[in-house]
Amino acid sequence: MASGAGLAAFSLKVWEPVLAKSRRAVVFMDDPCAEILHWCGGTELFLAAGALNVKEFSSFESGASKQPKAVFVVSSPLRGRALDVIRDVVSQSCFQYCIVVTAVSPGESEGRAVQEQLEEKLCQWMGNMGYTAEVLWAPLLLAPLSPHLLLAPAFHALFPLLPDQDLQALNRSRPDKKRFPALADVDFPSLTPELQSLIRSLVSQLNQVLEGIGVREECFSVGHLSRIIAGELANYPQAKNRRKLAQNKASLVFIDRTLDVTGMRTTLDPAAKALWESIMSMKQKEAVMEVRRYLVDTASREKLPIKMSMGAISGLIRKNDRYYNKVWA
Query: Does 166 score more than 80 pLDDT?
Result: yes
Query: Does 320 score more than 50 pLDDT?
Result: no
pTM: 0.77
Angle CA(308)–CA(262)–CA(223) in degrees, nearest 5?
A: 65
CA 8, CA 325: separation in Å to the nearest integer? 30
Angle CA(250)–CA(280)–CA(151) in degrees, nearest 5?
A: 35
Query: Does 126 score more than 60 pLDDT?
Result: yes
How confident is the model at residue 6, as a pLDDT?
Answer: 84
Residue 68's alpha-carbon distances to 44, 98, 181, 201, 286, in angstroms, are: 21, 9, 58, 31, 63
Query: Does 107 score more than 80 pLDDT?
Result: no
Radius of gyration of the chain (CA): 23
pLDDT tens-digit map of 168-192? 999 998 898 899 999 989 999 999 9
Q: What share of the chain is helix, strand, coil (3-state, %, to 5)?
A: 45, 20, 35
CA 172, CA 155: separation in Å to the nearest integer? 26
How confident is the model at residue 240, as a pLDDT?
Answer: 86
List beta partners, residue 250: 217
pLDDT tens-digit map of 290-304? 888 887 887 888 787
Going along the chain from its start, the domains and CATH numbers come out as 4-137 (3.40.50.2060), 157-259 (no CATH), 262-328 (no CATH)
Amino acid identity, position 72: F
Query: Does 260 score more than 70 pLDDT?
Result: no
How confident is the model at residue 317, as a pLDDT?
Answer: 45
Closest by Cα among 144, 207, 145, 105 to 7: 144
CA dihedral (296, 299, 300, 301) positive or negative? positive
CA 25, CA 47: separation in Å to the nearest integer? 10
